[in-house]
A and B are shown apart, each in its own frame.
Chain A
């Protein structure tokens, strides 16, 4: 079942032209030219429960963030909670909107 969830997430990103790729336990994709990722292991509840950590290159600095080392070299993962998950008919679009909102705060 896990594979189905990842496939659904990747397919949704592909539909949004986010250029998703699965590598090293991450789904890596682009939002507004910024490369970002989520962990494959966090997609087992998709689309009912969204991923939690947003992985970004370390050069992307977020203010007041709860960050930890990413599984990808030179990257960090950032803890960013989603408010009101489950209200959008297209969950992938909702996820990308969440990531875009987080990126808007980047320095």
Chain B
């Protein structure tokens, strides 16, 4: 069983619960339903809907009190919707993440077995303080309460309530002074402990990951199954001909750059050579709080598009399109786009950035099949380093808006920069009435999983493993690894010298 737990809900659900729990300034209690979202190491309860009490189902004996009838009725409704049960308390006058009071613990413990008996899922306890901070725990039968590491509310801002004991606020450092001064200590501590995954370690993903590390983010995931090749070197800034010769994976090379540029006192870097389209890759992605989509294939983008709604993990997506003249002489133009994919905003298919009809062909490997490509006229996929950094900047600005909400405004909606006219446009986009993706909000593990076997990823990894067994690559890697270890040691010396200076100052 995965032991890390969390809770996520939409801003609309949060508002409905807050109205019910904190309305008249006295302690109140409500039941709600949730669907599980199971990652590789974390399980999240996705809040689905509030179950309002019927007359006689709530009482007040000093504190708010539930009746067994309310619990049984809500649990039965939850079971019918393949959900678990949430018991939510309001704590007016309290601030921040809290320990569970004796009365709340008794109430939750008293109903945990009944809820699990009816729904088949553990009861989840939630507490809401006056400052809108949540606290949460999962009640597994024979285990007791497992306290969550955070509770996330997804709206035009991503608002996170943190359990400081499980995810301590990172210590800010002198090397982050300018960054901290830009948005303040409190925001920085919140922003830098969010687990951020970058899917796709190409030119855009590299820039995004390195900038996140420089900002001080303490947990960064990198996912890509691809290998550095010579034709990548004009865009993969920091990768070298040595990396291409030694058949380094992109996540190894980008991970090295992330490590070099990290300003956090301690960076937890998780690299994965999986595709997010593979079941294990998808499970790994569900462990993160925010995902950057830096991929260009429809299948991977469709998987991430689904994750944003079904699993309530905001996906910051975007990319660049360079429009070359067909005669190879000059450039017609270029555009780069950025948007946050989340409930309340149109999905990638609705905003015109994903053709769901291309997913099946990609999944079948047709987009890598030369016969298919020849039959469809092929796709050049032009891109240049001088412009891909602008796409990365667009994604990062969306992330800062989602996280920091400068001037109180969260994510701005889809944006497009047109290079030929040098104009930045808001792109009008609306959810289609029968959008099959946005209909899956908080479906969690029951959502249609587009993940499956990924033969191109298997092939790339196998080719890399085969190259790693040749003598020249093995010798070259040994020499290259030694150089990197020496450099890492030198960085360690510099770190200690700077710390001496920091203490002296």
Binding site for B on A (CB under 8 A): 1, 5, 41-42, 44-45, 47-52, 66-68, 79, 81-83, 85-89, 91
Contacts and interface: CB of A to CB of B under 8 A. Distances in A.
Interface stretch (B10-18, B24-32, B175-183, B445-453): B445-453
A49 B360 contact: yes
Contact of B433 (A5, A51, A89, A91): A89
A49 B364 contact: no
Interface stretch (B96-104, B117-125, B349-357): B349-357
Contacts of A83: 355, 357
A49 B434 contact: no
A11 to B, nearest CB: 16
Contact of A50 (B357, B371, B432, B448): B357
B434 A51 contact: no
B356 to A, nearest CB: 5
Which of B350, B360, B376, B435: most chain A CB closer than 10 A? B360
27 contacts: A1-B448, A41-B364, A42-B360, A42-B364, A44-B450, A44-B452, A45-B448, A47-B436, A48-B306, A48-B359, A49-B302, A49-B356, A52-B358, A66-B372, A66-B376, A68-B371, A79-B361, A79-B366, A79-B372, A81-B357, A81-B358, A83-B355, A83-B357, A85-B355, A85-B357, A86-B435, A89-B434
Given A1-B449, A48-B437, A79-B376, A85 B356 contact: yes
Given A48-B356, A49-B450, A86 B432 contact: yes
- Give me the 9 closest cross-chain CB pairs, A-B, nearest first: A66-B375, A82-B357, A49-B359, A89-B434, A85-B357, A52-B361, A52-B360, A87-B432, A85-B356
Given A1-B449, A45-B450, A50 B434 contact: no
Contacts of B302: 45, 48-49
Nearest to B347: A86
B479 to A, nearest CB: 46
Nearest to A47: B436
A101 to B, nearest CB: 13
A60 to B, nearest CB: 17
B89 to A, nearest CB: 37
B342 interface: no
Contacts of B449: 1
A86 B434 contact: yes
Given A44-B450, A66-B375, A87-B433, 13 more contacts: A5-B448, A47-B436, A48-B359, A48-B437, A49-B359, A49-B450, A52-B360, A66-B372, A68-B371, A85-B349, A86-B350, A87-B432, A88-B434
